[in-house]
Amino acid sequence: MASRVPKRLEGVVVIQVKYQRFLAGAFASLASFAVLAGGAAAQTAITKGGTLIYLEQQPHTNLYPPAGGFYPNGGVLNQITDKLTYQNPKTLEIEPWIAESWTVNADATEYTFKIRPGVTFSDGTPLDAAAVAKNFDTYGLGNKELKQPVSEVITNYKGSEVIDPLTVKFFFTKPSVGFLQGTSVIGSGLVSLKTLALPFDALGDATKIIGSGPFVVKSEVLGRELVMEARKDYKWGPAKLAHQGRANLDGIKYVVTPEDSVRIGALLAGQANVIRQVQAYDEKQVQSKGFIIYAASTRGVNNTVVFRPDNPLVSDIRVRKALLHATNTREIVATLFSANYPQAKSIIASTAQGYVDQSAKLTYDPALATKLLDEAGWTIGPKGLRQKDGKELVLSAYESPPQPQNKETLQLVAQQWAKVGVKLNVLAGDAGSRVADSLDPVKTPIAPAMVGRADPDVIRSQYYPTTRNALLQKGGVSNKVQSFVDEKLNGLLEEIAAATDPVKRLALVGEVQAYVIDQGYVIPIFEEPQAFAASPKVKDFTFEAVGRPSFYTTWIAPK
Amino acid sequence: MVRYLLGRVGQALAVLALTFTAAFLLLQVLPGDAIMIKFMSLDMGLTADQIAEIRASYGADRPLWERYFTTVGNFLTGNFGISIQAGVPVSQQLATNLPPTLLLASLAFATALLLTIVLAAVSSMVGMEWLRNGLQSLPSLFISVPVFWLGIMLIQIFSFQLGLVTVISPGPVERLVLPVLTLAIPISAPLAQILMRNIDQVLAQPFIAVARAKGASRNWVLWRHVARNAIMPTLTIAGVLFGELLAGAVVTEAVFGLSGLGGLTYQAVGNHDTAVLQAIVVVSALAFVTINLVVDLLYPVLDPRLGTSMGAVT
């Protein structure tokens, strides 16, 4: 391990330094501090201007801000829209941005925001209380006429009231503690009234997304290329950032380059400055040429495999726990990934709020797995597969293409499970079958799942039946679920949404982590980063709280 | 001739209508649809009621026949619908992607023809047996090279290693050099094989011996007699191969990151974006039908015998 430290530092300097400074790691932090100090001296003179070339793997889809969770969408929206509040990616504190200050009533059903004066959208219209109200009315309630759906991060929204031109108040039907952080996410990016007046189906055209952000979309070749220009009059960046005023860069050119080897080759050949989506097996090639890997944490629910207990094959807790102990996550991380993909120690990332280490319950223990399966009545049949009442223990899962090497991960899990006599079929399938079957616990007793959001609310969003419903409980969007409901889990999740006391809220998050693992509902694999590579000339390339790139402070050194 | 032309155009329209209907029905048979993929995915976190509302707003809850006639009506009035995944009108996507694909395909096709003719001409004119054999085995090599690999190799060598062309945001001409080569090489292979074999066959015919006996030079015979006779089957294949250009374009555009119908098709298939696929099928069918019509009309020009026999039939 000691020999790996320098290599890791060379590659992940920026990220490492940020984490380790506040986590106060032992020896490594001293070393990285030295790197930071050395780097800071060289970084005194910031070079202004220039266009950064950014290679994206996939074209963006609809840019309605609440759809900003899709990685390519977030990469675009984060440059062109501002948010009401700013979540400090280091401390995860909520800081002022477009809102100068705010107050929340005792039971978190009323929020009042004071808007910073003088902010305008790039179409010249003012970003005032009325505009903010209209944005959240749309995201909180949806707009049926224009087909604009409700945002995932805003729950129990009742309405808004414009108190004066720079003061807006929001009302909720139930306590909604997650709302303050919800105003800081990409999905709550503020857009001009002109953009909100367009039907949902027109918002796939980036030039129509009018924000107040540091960059403005100048032109777009659909599905291929996006040119952004810095706004010269931008002077309302997050208040506590060291950098103020307009962006350092003159512009950004987003080019969609689907082929991995072409993105990496272009970066190394100097034809691009930053690329998104670098697989773990390509990291060495990039680092050996002196280029930098940025593995930004998504700080939410880890890359996991979830069970759908509605399926009789996995309804027995002993079967689920057997498979949890039959999964060797250390081997998965060591074989397929790199140091940038830390082995999971809970269902949420160790950088997430309320994280509690569950690793004692997540051991790789094939003997225990065998014992549990035997106890559950699944005996080894003639083909080496476990069976019970004439049924074989054969499970299926669809790969999830946006997750890094998800197919390979599931295939390795399948190999590990085969050792205890359980078969896992890894299905590719077309998008239609994947979505349809993922809603049917009989067809997909197992599914990969992850979601990034730097708020305890993320855990509720992932498992609650009427939101992402990862475990497929009855009462959600799927009509294929027969009976599975876990009232205790749902009760805890509802409490997280309503707990106004932050200490109590984090305690509940800890309770849910323990409960979900104790029930064997989820097998955590690794903490999923979003991996980028950049030329060493690119400086101050930063990320918002869940790993989407932010180019506001970025500059390109001449040499 | 006018009657023949009208007949062929009528046939072409019938083919188009059948393709449209078949495509519409097949796309309905696929499990799931674009609305389900976009909105029903658990990641959206929408409720069943919200999804039902969305389906109704797109008219996806209407009966099949009603949706069919609505779509026919829309296409006839030039409204290709909306891409649910991308959130833009399909007409805007076609306007962005059709011209570059047409340009790429035409240039690649022209280059492939040029490669074919040069290869065939040189291999028939060259005296040395070993060189001739070498040239004649080139198409077999070209045909077995995967487009994907060829594209990546060309980029690695000419762009990343030698730095001769830029791949990321290149100039208008620079943009096309490598993709055109990538697409042209595999297309030229079957053409060259057929042309070479035909040249050999025609050369073996008695009238060639007669022409040579009369004192015509080998090259004169090649250009005046052989080429004209050997080009007919090549032309037929060329018409068919034009369709393969679109298939090749999917890969080429992905590798080079170019706009085009290829990439659009790939995305739309992945997301079951029915409106986009419907439009692409119709545009491709139109291209196929047109090319084949042009090839059919070219036959009598190249071979007067076909013109007279056609007259005799009618």
Provide, as residue numbers in chain A, all residues whose Cβ is less than 8 Å from the Cβ of B57: 144, 147
Cβ of B171 under 8 Å from any chain A Cβ?
Answer: no
Q: Quote ipTM for the complex.
A: 0.79
Task: Please tell me the distance from the alpha carbon of residue A430 to that of residue A351, in angstroms, as a whole number.
Answer: 34
Over residues A151-160, the pLDDT tens digits come to 988 989 999 9
Q: Is B30 on the interface with A (CB under 8 A)?
A: yes
Mutate to test the interface with A, among B88, B97, B182 (most CBs of A within 10 A): B88
Is residue A42 scored above 50 in pLDDT? no
> A451 CB near a chain B CB, below 8 Å?
yes
Whether residues B84 and A201 touch (CB distance < 8 A) is answered with yes
- pLDDT confidence tier of residue B138, bands split at 50, 70 and 90: confident
pLDDT at B174 over 70: yes
What's the pLDDT score for residue A44? 61
Residues A409 and A403: their CA atoms lie apart, in Å, by 10
Q: Beta strand A99-104 with A379-380: parallel, antiparallel or unpaired?
A: unpaired
Q: What would the pLDDT profile of A185-201 be if each residue is shown by its tens digit?
A: 999 999 999 999 999 98
Least Cα separation, residue B77 to chain A (angstroms): 20
CB B150 within 8 A of CB B142: no
Residues from chain B contacting residue A59 (CB–CB below 8 Å):
86, 267
Which residues have C-beta within 8 Å of that of residue B112, sequence separation ≥ 6?
A: B183, B184, B185, B187, B188, B191, B241
Of B36, B45, B160, the CB nearest to A435: B36
Higher pLDDT, A281 or A26: A281
Q: Does A402 touch chain B (CB under 8 A)?
A: no
Residue B106 and residue B98 in contact, taking contact as beta carbons nearer than 8 Å: no
φ, ψ dihedrals at B209, nearest 5°? -60, -40
CA–CA distance, B175 with B152 (Å, rounded to integer):
15
B27: closest CA of chain A, how far (Å): 11
3 state DSSP class of A427 = strand
Q: Would you call B56 an interface residue with chain A, using a CB distance cutoff of 8 Å?
A: no
> Are the C-beta atoms of A508 and A493 separated by less than 8 Å?
no
Segment B251-269 mean pLDDT:
85
The verdict on a CB contact (< 8 Å) between B270 and A430 is yes
Radius of gyration in angstroms for the set of CA atoms belonging to chain A, rounded to a whole number: 24
How many percent of chain B have pLDDT more than 90? 14
| B130 to chain A, closest Cα gap in Å | 38
> Which positions 226-255 of A are in contact with B (Cβ < 8 Å)?
253, 255
Segment among A123-132, A245-254, A257-266, B46-55 with least mean pLDDT: B46-55
Q: Is residue B186 pLDDT above 60, yes or no?
A: yes
Closest CA–CA distance from residue A254 to any residue of chain B (Å):
10
Q: Higher-confidence residue: B309 or B19?
A: B19
pLDDT of residue B308: 54
Q: Is B51 on the interface with A (CB under 8 A)?
A: yes
Q: What is the mean pLDDT of the segment spanning B257-271?
A: 84
Comparing alpha-carbon positions, the chain B residue that sits nearest to A67 is B44
Q: Which residues of B touch A261 (CB under 8 A)?
A: 152, 156
- Residue B293's pLDDT is 81
CA of A194 to nearest chain B CA: how many angstroms apart?
17
Contact list in B for residue A493 (CB cut-off 8 A) is none
- The residue among A367, A258, A314 whose CA lies nearest residue A523 is A314
Alpha-carbon gap, residue A441 to A426, rounded angstroms: 15
Average pLDDT, chain B: 83
pLDDT digits (tens, 9 = 90+) for A98-131: 999 999 999 999 999 999 999 999 999 999 999 9
- Does the beta carbon of B92 lie under 8 angstroms from any beta carbon of chain A? yes
Residue A462 clears pLDDT 50, i.e. is over it: yes
C-alpha separations of A76 from A2, A214, A229, A266 in Å:
39, 12, 12, 21
Confidence (pLDDT) at A185: 94
- Quick: pLDDT tens for A200-232: 989 999 999 999 999 999 999 988 899 999 999
Chain B residue closest in CA terms to A226: B169
Give the pLDDT mean for A39-62. Answer: 81
Under DSSP, the state recorded for A148 is: B
Among A203, A266, A467, the residue with its CB nearest the CB of B87 is: A203
Report CB contact under 8 Å: A477, B254. Answer: no
Residue A413 has pLDDT above 70, yes or no: yes
> Element (H or E) spanning A516, and its range?
helix A502-518
Query: Is the per-residue pLDDT at A34 higher than 60?
Result: no
Place of tokens 């074999």: B197
Percent of chain A with pLDDT over 90: 75
Q: HSE of B190 in the Cβ direction (CA atoms, 13 Å)? A: 15
What is the mean pLDDT of the segment spanning A246-259? 95
Which amino acid is present at B223?
A: W
Task: Flag the least confident range among A4-8, B123-127, B306-310.
Answer: A4-8
N residues, chain A = 559
Lowest-confidence region among A137-151, A311-325, A528-542, B165-179: B165-179
Q: Taking residues A372-393, report their average pLDDT.
A: 93
Instruction: State whether A221 and B160 contact (CB < 8 Å).
Output: no
Question: Which pLDDT score, from 0 to 100, does residue A513 have?
Answer: 97
Specify whether the CB–CB gap between A527 and A403 falls below 8 A.
no
Inter-chain touch A268–B82, beta carbons under 8 Å: no
E strand or H helix at A218 = strand A215-221
pLDDT at residue B52 in the model = 84
* CB-based contact A271 B44, cutoff 8 Å: no
> How many CB contacts within 8 angstroms connect chain A with chain B?
162
Q: Which of residues 288-307 of B touch A (CB under 8 A)?
A: none
Name which of A321-330, A375-384, B141-150 the model is least confident about.
B141-150
Q: Work out the pLDDT band at B220, boundaries 50, 70, 90.
A: confident
The pLDDT of residue A219 is 95
Regarding predicted confidence, which is higher, B308 or A362?
A362
**In percent, how much of chain A has pLDDT > 70?**
92
Is B154 touching A (CB cutoff 8 A)?
no
Cross-chain CB nearest to B168 (options A69, A271, A435): A271
Q: Choosing among B33, B36, B42, B261, which should be mutated to test the A contact, i.e. which has the most A CBs within 10 A?
A: B42
d(CA A244, CA A233): 11
Contact B96 A222 (CB under 8 A): yes
For residue B32, pLDDT over 80 is answered with: no
* Residues B252 and B262: beta-carbon distance below 8 Å: yes
Chain B residues inside the 8 Å CB shell of A142: 50
Tell me, yes or no, if A277 comes closer than 8 A to chain B by beta carbon.
Answer: no
Please give the average per-residue pLDDT across A520-546, as a whole number. 95
Only one residue has tokens 């003088």, namely: A118
pLDDT top residue among A170 and A431:
A170
Q: Which of B45, B96, B163 sits opposite A152 (nearest CB)?
A: B45
Contact with chain A for residue B81, Cβ under 8 A: no
Which is more confident, B238 or A121? A121
Q: Do A438 and B259 touch (CB under 8 A)?
A: no
Q: What is the CA radius of gyration of chain B?
A: 24
Mutate which: A77, A146, A256, A262, vs B, most B CBs within 10 A: A262
Q: Is the pLDDT reported for residue A536 higher than 60?
A: yes
Residue in A closest to B58 by C-alpha: A147
Identity of the residue in B44, B88, B166 whose CB atom sits nearest the CB atom of A204: B88
Distance separating alpha carbons of residues A92 and A18, to the nearest angstrom? 12
Question: A239-274 as b/e, with b when 16 or more CB fall inside 10 Å?
Answer: eeeebeebbbbbbbbbbbbbbeebbbbbbbbebbbb
Tracing tokens 């224009």 back to the chain, one arrives at A146
The predicted structure's pLDDT at residue B306: 67
Residues 204-263 of B with CB under 8 A from A: 254-259, 263
Evaluate whether A80 touches A211 at the Cβ level (below 8 Å).
yes
Mean pLDDT score across all residues of chain A:
89
The model's confidence at residue B249, banded by pLDDT at 50, 70 and 90, is confident
* Stretch among A241-250, A498-507, A534-543, B127-136 having the lowest mean pLDDT: B127-136
Q: What is the pLDDT of residue B307?
A: 59
Bigger pLDDT: A188 vs B257 = A188
Interface touch B50/A262, C-beta < 8 Å: no
Question: Looking at A47-56, A358-367, B288-297, which range is the least confident one?
Answer: B288-297
Position A198, amino acid: L
Distance from CA of A398 to the nearest CA of B (A): 13
Among A68-72, A98-102, A276-280, A409-413, where is mean pLDDT lowest?
A: A68-72
Task: Characterize the bridge pairing of strands A85-87 and A94-96.
Answer: antiparallel
User: Nearest CA to CA, how far is A271 from chain B (Å)?
Assistant: 6
Query: Do the beta carbons of residue A523 and residue A417 sit within 8 Å?
Result: no
pLDDT band (50, 70, 90) for residue A13: very low
Assigned token pair, A194: 């002109």
Answer whether A430 sits within 8 Å of B33, measured CB to CB: no
| B33 interfaces chain A, CB cutoff of 8 Å | yes
B86 to A266: CB separation less than 8 angstroms, yes or no: no
How far B45 CA sits from the closest chain A CA (Å)? 4
Task: Categorize the per-residue pLDDT at A40 as very low, low, confident or very high, splitting at 50, 70 and 90.
Answer: very low
- Chain A positions touching B85 (Cβ under 8 A) are 61-62
Beta strands in chain B (DSSP E): 82-83, 88-89
Pick the range with the lowest mean pLDDT from A421-425, A491-495, B280-284: B280-284
Judge whether B279 and B291 are in contact, CB under 8 Å: no
Bridge pairing between strands A446-451 and A301-307: antiparallel
pTM: 0.84
Determine contact, residues A248/A216, Cβ cutoff 8 Å.
no
